[in-house]
A and B are shown apart, each in its own frame.
Chain A
Amino acid sequence: MIIGLRCRECKKEFSPSIRYVCDDCFGALDVIYDYDSIHLTKNLLANRENNMWRYKELLPVEPQDSLYSFHSGWTPLIKASKLAKALGLNNLYIKNDSVNPTFSFKDRPAALGVAAALNFGLEAVGCASTGNLAAATAAYAARAGLPCYVVIPSSIEQSKISQAQAYGATIIAVEGTYDDSNRLAAQAGEYYNIGMVNINLRPYYVEGSKTLAFEVAEQLGWDVPDTIVVPTASGAMLNAICRGFEELMEIGFVRNTPATIVAAQASGCNPISRAYKEGKDVIMPIQQPDTIAKSLAIGDPGDGIYVLRRLRNNGLAEDADDDEIIEGCRLLAQTEGIFTEPAGGVAIAVLKKLVEQGKIGKDDKIVCYITGNGLKAPDVLQSILPRPIVVKPELKALSSILLGG
């Protein structure tokens, strides 16, 4: 079903291969499909297993058994009535992607990246990561039986490092930013012949995140939200989600795409929302990101310019500072019982701000993507949470604590 790869800039086409930039203009490459040859129907889907591979016709590689059997994706879409009420909204849903096998949305692209690596016969995989992709790539590599090398900025959360190490990955912690890690990983991929899922396998990798659109539409009964809120770092996921909705329209499954796309960023690393708000058409990289939302700390977003173009067409961007992010995490946990890492707090905080600014209608059907699990960065809420009350094991010690005591 896939025809090949096409340069996003000059449109030059290539056969499917391990290649990620155009050899003429060095623009990024995207997978192209022959939609006419795709015979997917809603009925066919109804009989398939509930995981991301149910949309295999719209994905560039088929999973090997070891990857398929992980059952990634098909995470819950939750009607968030209590959170909606707190924000003054009437029709809010949470796509809780923090309950994937490795506890972030990165399961989706990592699965495609590792599947592509196996297809191309590569003998090692890896990635550059702000934390979540490290763990995801490491887990899929473990299932595939491939060694895994992840390059991360040395500042990321220990829990994310431990998770990736538990799966057997070799961690290369760079004294520098994500952008430094990304560049080093690009060179390592080339010089040591490693399938770096988000670099030299990127055209395949990004396709995995389209399933975030497919699932939401299917879970809404083949309907499309008016507004989607997406935590954004490199912009790859936002772009993929938009393309996912566009493809559903292309194959006749839905009649429109979301009217409003919201890119949610952290104020301490906001290259996209800053460009959007300042009315610029270029992205100025943030040299030294500084935010508790470490998974969103990408100063030089690869897909930034493409996200910006989409937002100019039909979108919004906003950012949230550390306090607002923490409050977003708290609010989601205490209204909907979903404990998210700061990236999720960014999405909630930005949604809250845009509602307050009157930029999002209160009756809009909104889907907010929650992309990472709170247990991956459990310490961030500590600053606002009370210390546990320590008592002697005696009933009378509870009288001042419990209601009606």
Chain B
Amino acid sequence: MAIVEVFIPSVISNSKEKARIKVDAKDVKELLFLLEKDGIVERNRLFDDSGKIKKFLNLYVNGKRQNDLEIQLNDGDEVSILPSVAGG
């Protein structure tokens, strides 16, 4: 198990409020499961029908984009889910 800090912007969260919370999870999959269980963000907000993360969303672990939900988490990791912002 690992205590990680999660950032969820308001446009994604159920409450329409941004969230910054600590969660105890061993990998991203479990983390997302816990976030749904706690009513913070629903899975169908994040994933398309084929189970892939939505086209305009990105998931980052310590600033690195991740698509692999099995990825192991370590204590102190920072996880964020963000709309792919049109930069520049």
Contact between A190 and B87, CB atoms less than 8 A apart: no
Min distance, Cβ B47 to any Cβ of chain A, angstroms: 12
Contact between A21 and B88, CB atoms less than 8 A apart: no
Enumerate chain B residues within 8 angstroms of A301, measured Cβ to Cβ.
87-88
Min distance, Cβ A156 to any Cβ of chain B, angstroms: 14
Task: Output the nearest chain A residue to B88 by Cβ-Cβ distance.
Answer: A234
Contact between A179 and B82, CB atoms less than 8 A apart: no
B83 at the binding interface (Cβ < 8 Å)? yes
Complex CA–CA separation, A19 to B11 (angstroms)? 9
Q: How many A-B residue pairs have CB under 8 A?
A: 80
Enumerate chain A residues within 8 angstroms of B83, measured Cβ to Cβ.
20-21, 26, 186
Enumerate chain B residues within 8 angstroms of A191, measured Cβ to Cβ.
7, 18, 20
Given A9-B56, A21-B56, check contact A302 B86 (CB 8 Å): yes
Chain A, residues 173-195, CB within 8 Å of chain B (1/0): the string is 00010111011101100110000
Contact between B57 and A236, CB atoms less than 8 A apart: no
A27 at the binding interface (Cβ < 8 Å)? yes
Interchain CB contact (< 8 A) of A183 among B12, B18, B63:
B63
Contact between B87 and A234, CB atoms less than 8 A apart: yes
Chain A, residues 150-191, CB within 8 Å of chain B (1/0): the string is 000000000000000000000000001011101110110011
Contact between A178 and B56, CB atoms less than 8 A apart: no
Complex CA–CA separation, A236 to B77 (angstroms)? 33
Enumerate chain B residues within 8 angstroms of A28, measured Cβ to Cβ.
56, 86
Complex CA–CA separation, A237 to B86 (angstroms)? 12
A23 at the binding interface (Cβ < 8 Å)? yes
Most A C-beta atoms less than 10 A away, residue of B9, B11, B55, B87:
B87
Interchain CB contact (< 8 A) of A190 among B10, B55, B56, B86:
B10
Task: Output the nearest chain A residue to B9 by Cβ-Cβ distance.
Answer: A190
Interchain CB contact (< 8 A) of B84 among A23, A128, A202, A302:
A302
Interface residues of A in 16-51 (CB under 8 A from B): 19-21, 23, 25-28
Most A C-beta atoms less than 10 A away, residue of B55, B86, B88:
B88
Interchain CB contact (< 8 A) of B85 among A25, A182, A235:
A182
Enumerate chain A residues within 8 angstroms of B54, measured Cβ to Cβ.
25-26
Interface residues of A in 189-210 (CB under 8 A from B): 190-191, 198-199, 202
Min distance, Cβ A391 to any Cβ of chain B, angstroms: 47
Enumerate chain B residues within 8 angstroms of A233, measured Cβ to Cβ.
88
Min distance, Cβ B79 to any Cβ of chain A, angstroms: 12
Min distance, Cβ A360 to any Cβ of chain B, angstroms: 25
Enumerate chain B residues within 8 angstroms of A25, measured Cβ to Cβ.
54-56
Complex CA–CA separation, A21 to B10 (angstroms)? 11
Enumerate chain A residues within 8 angstroms of B63, measured Cβ to Cβ.
176, 180, 183-184
A300 at the binding interface (Cβ < 8 Å)? yes
Complex CA–CA separation, A27 to B85 (angstroms)? 9
Interchain CB contact (< 8 A) of B82 among A19, A183, A198, A302:
A183
Chain B, residues 27-64, CB within 8 Å of chain A (1/0): the string is 00000000000000000000000000011111010010
Contact between B88 and A23, CB atoms less than 8 A apart: no
Enumerate chain B residues within 8 angstroms of A235, measured Cβ to Cβ.
88
Enumerate chain A residues within 8 angstroms of B18, measured Cβ to Cβ.
190-191
Min distance, Cβ B82 to any Cβ of chain A, angstroms: 6
Complex CA–CA separation, A221 to B75 (angstroms)? 64
Chain A, residues 281-313, CB within 8 Å of chain B (1/0): the string is 000000000000000001011110000000000
Task: Output the nearest chain A residue to B18 by Cβ-Cβ distance.
Answer: A190
Chain A residues with CB under 8 Å of chain B are 9, 19-21, 23, 25-28, 128, 130, 176, 178-180, 182-184, 186-187, 190-191, 198-199, 202, 233-237, 298, 300-303
Q: List 16 A-B contacts (CB under 8 A).
A: A19-B11, A26-B12, A26-B57, A28-B86, A176-B63, A183-B58, A183-B82, A184-B63, A191-B18, A191-B20, A198-B87, A234-B86, A236-B86, A301-B88, A302-B84, A302-B87
